[in-house]
Structure 1
Amino acid sequence: MSLSPILLQASEPGRKLLIISSLLLALSGCDAVQQKLGLEAPAAKLARDEAEGKAVGGACRQSGRAIEDCYSIYAWLPKSAIYEGWRDMDIYMRENKLQTVEPQLPPPQPPGTKKKKPAAPLAEETAAEAPVDQKAAAKH
């Protein structure tokens, strides 16, 4: 049975409902649509988080960061993946006699936290730090 005879027999509101529901059903499996809507399959999310956790764990070990610090900084990633990446990098570094690489930047803020703005200098401090005009001071 094709969709055309059903559409011909249905009333006007029924036709619209059938067309919309069939389009939604067809588009619900489309990966591009799911990606645009921000939907992600649980298995794909788990695989992505595992890969990110391993990479982060390896980077933490290479930079000399303790595994506990890595857990707290990257709390949204699975601890097992972080540990696995940290352990693998530790083995690799020991076998190849590599030294740690000191990080040049502070660790990133966890998602959902606001960045702290640098404190603006007080007016008194800027006035004290401003260069004194020698001629103006001599006149007083």
Structure 2
Amino acid sequence: MTVRLLLTLVTTLLLAGCNIPGMGPDPRIALREAEAKAIGGACRYGVRGIEDCYSLNEGASKAAIFAGWKDMDEYMSENKIEGVRAVIAKSEPAEVILEDKSTQAVAADKAPAKDASAAAR
């Protein structure tokens, strides 16, 4: 009986100090939080409002975005840093791009046919 109790006690003590893989917190959660915090800081430096930052990054944690935005705001205030206005160039809608490519393809199909007939003469 004492051997069994001693073995149980030793096993419990050994397992108490053991890090079993997969039993800790998921590192992806910490990574997502850090990325959201970086997004918030970048939004503040880019002179964006917090609401704009939320709407541009819907998949990120709002609490972490706010924490990053607030930290960057304090840092910029303490060090008298001016933000740089972020400019996003508007791209053409996908339909217009597809139409342009299809028009170019049709023009390209017609052009070689004329060149080929001229070369055959």
Query: Which category describes the TM-score, using the shorter chain as reference length?
Result: 0.5 to 0.7
Cα shift at 1:42: 6.9
Residue aligning to 2:40: 57
- 4+ long deviations beyond 6 Å: none
> What CA distance in whole angstroms lies between the structure 2 residues aligned with 1:106 and 1:82?
23
Please list the CA deviations of residues 58-77 of structure 1 after superposition, one character each: whole Å capped at 9, or x if unmatched. Answer: 00000000001111111111
Q: CA deviation at 1:103?
A: 1.6
Number of residue-to-residue matches in the alignment: 77
Structure 1 unmatched ranges of 5 or more: 1-28, 32-40, 108-114, 124-140
Cα deviation, residue 104, structure 1 = 3.4
Query: Cα deviation per residue 1:63-107 (whole Å; 9 max; x = unaligned)?
Result: 000001111111111111100000000000011111111123359
Match of 2:29 among 43, 46, 57: 46
Following the alignment from structure 2 to structure 1, what is the Cα–Cα distance between the partners of residues 30 and 42? 18
**Letter paired with 1:81:** A
What letter matches 2:45 in structure 1? Q
RMSD: 2.9
CA distance in 2, matches of 1:42, 1:78: 18
**Within 1, Cα distance between the matches of 2:89 and 2:95?**
15
- TM-score using structure 1 length: 0.47
Q: Which has the higher helix share?
A: 2
Q: Distance in 2 between matches of 1:46 and 1:105?
A: 29
Distance 1:90 1:53 in 2: 15
Find the aligned partners of 2:45 and 2:53 in 1 and give their Cα distance: 12
In the superposition, relative to structure 1, how do residues 64 and 55 fare at CA in structure 2: closer, same or farther (>3 Å)? Answer: same
CA distance in 2, matches of 1:75, 1:84: 16
Tell which has more relative contact order, 1 or 2 (C-alpha 8 A, sep 6+): 2
